[in-house]
Structure 1
Amino acid sequence: MSTQSGRGGELDVDEAVRALLLLMPQLVGRAKRTPPPAELAGLALGPRHLSLLSYLLFDGPMTVNELAVRLEVAPTTVSLMVADLSRGGVVERREDPGDRRRRIVSITDAGRPAIEGWLGPAATAWREALGPLTSADRRLVVETLRAYERATSERSSPAG
């Protein structure tokens, strides 16, 4: 591995890997030090719950099937997560006025301030970090993080 910085502030692959390996524990540590609000403390929340709540907060109410597609899980998995969050009074399911067979999931009015207070600072920090970038640069950042997640997921999955 090279230890020399590239010219003009550029990084070669090894330098970038080193920088990210040093940065990732700080990012993860910061996320872990951001506990859920007291209103959610009694719920056993996992990363998928956080993603579900993020979609509902930023994109508004949606159906279980829409959430399942976005979360890349089965609708039954989303239904279970929604049931957990419903028992905690954080989300609610209501009948879709356009199709009574479908249910619309949304954050409750009572749960909204806690969710906004919990997820809002991270959203603000991402806006600050991504704001100065071009649209293409932002897409590159997001796609790079997705590729990293896929690569680490594939390596940690049991062989089938």
Structure 2
Amino acid sequence: MNDSDDVWALMFRILGRSRTATERLIRNTGLTGPQARTLGYIEAHEHEGITARQIAETFGTTPASVSSLIGGLERGGYLERTADPADARSKLLRVLPKGRGLTSGFDEVLDEFKRQMTAPLTSEDRATLVRLLTAVDDHLDTLENEKRNA
């Protein structure tokens, strides 16, 4: 195993543990992790007039993926798309009563999980980790942009 394999294995393992913690939270809601995250985000920001495009930009995913996710939430009766009075071409997302409050309390539990996960690290260690992971993320962005522009 080389250094890249070690990094990959650790990142994959940590991501898996994070996913497991999230799945425990949402087990009884009937939602998937991405649906719960999206629904909670919409509920927290709907007073600002949130669109699917804004969600894609915020979560760093494609508009097609968000559209599919929103479609599932809409079919499930958790939210609806309404006309944007300021832009007829745009649809605003609004949480329906079935979805309202469904993800309340998740943030606090996730925050505690994140605190526990990083507890063995000093403040300086966490800053270094953020810097290193940001460098990896930025490099992946560059590679994606190069492929798109090729």
Please say if 1:84 is aligned against 2:72.
Answer: yes
Aligned counterpart for 2:83 among listed residues 95, 103, 116: 95
Q: Deviations over 1:111-134 (max 9, x none)?
A: 23221233441035547869x969
Q: TM-score w.r.t. structure 2 length?
A: 0.56
For the residue of structure 1 that corresponds to 2:98, the secondary structure is coil
2:22–2:110 contact (8 Å) kept in structure 1: no
What corresponds to 1:106 in structure 2? 94
How far 1:83 moved relative to its partner?
A: 0.5
Matched, 1:117 2:105: yes
Q: How many residues are aligned here?
A: 131
Matched-pair identity in %:
24
Structure with higher Rg: it is 1
Runs of 4+, deviation exceeding 6 Å: 21-24, 127-130, 150-154
Residue aligned with 1:40, SS: coil
The AA in structure 2 aligned to 1:108 is L
Task: For structure 1, list consecutive stretches of 5 or more residues without a partner in the other structure.
Answer: 1-13, 155-160
CA RMSD, Structure 1 to Structure 2 (Å) = 4.2
The structure with more helix, counted as a fraction of residues: 2
**Paired residues for 1:63-78 under 5 Å:** 63-78=51-66
Measured in 1, the distance between the counterparts of 2:33 and 2:60 equals 15
TM-score by length of 1: 0.53
In structure 2, how many angstroms separate the alpha carbons of the residues matched to 1:107 and 1:24? 33
Distance 1:40 1:68 in 2: 22
